[in-house]
Amino acid sequence: MPQSLVHVALIVRDYDEAIAFFVGKLGFDLLEDTYQPEQDKRWVIVRPSGGEGCSVLLARASSEHQSQWIGNQAGGRVFLFLRTDDFWRDYRAFVDRGIEFEREPNEADYGLVAVFKDLYGNLWDLIEFAPDRH
């Protein structure tokens, strides 16, 4: 039976500010924003533009316990990896849109990579893999 990863939940402070960042600054597509009255939550799904793989569920923290993990879901490590087919195009666009880079571009054996922060401080790799890597 084939399986695939469908969504990754990212804890956010506010749905609308998260949508503004992911759609407005990173250029993601908003796939769904549906209110769920029984839980007083929204089901908000975004995905990199043109992507067909895993999407991100923007999950508003609903308790103090959950709130303490906003921006630190991976304990300070890179948490998510955004693959691109044109590193420099996307890197320049992100810089122009005010995205903060934690580590500048670096050529590694696996590809070209730079580490950026999302609006809460979670670390992401922007990566264009070398032709022999995936």
Same domain, yes or no: 47 and 89: no
Same domain, yes or no: 9 and 58: yes
Q: Residue 80 and residue 59: Cα distance in Å, rounded?
A: 16
From 71, 63, 77, select the one nearest 18 (Cα to Cα): 71
Q: In 10 A of CB 79, how many CB atoms?
A: 17
Same domain, yes or no: 43 and 100: no
Domain, as residue range, for 39: 1-70
How confident is the model over 66-107, as pLDDT tens digits?
Answer: 999 999 999 999 999 999 999 999 999 999 999 999 999 999
State how beta strands 7-12 and 55-60 pair: parallel
pTM metric for this prediction:
0.93
Same domain, yes or no: 63 and 111: no
Domain count for the chain: 2
How confident is the model over 106-130, as pLDDT tens digits?
Answer: 999 999 999 999 999 999 999 999 9
Cβ atoms of residues 110 and 133 within 8 Å: yes
State how beta strands 101-108 and 111-117 pair: antiparallel
Using the 3D structure, point to which of 31, 53, 70 is the last residue of a domain. Answer: 70
Same domain, yes or no: 85 and 107: yes
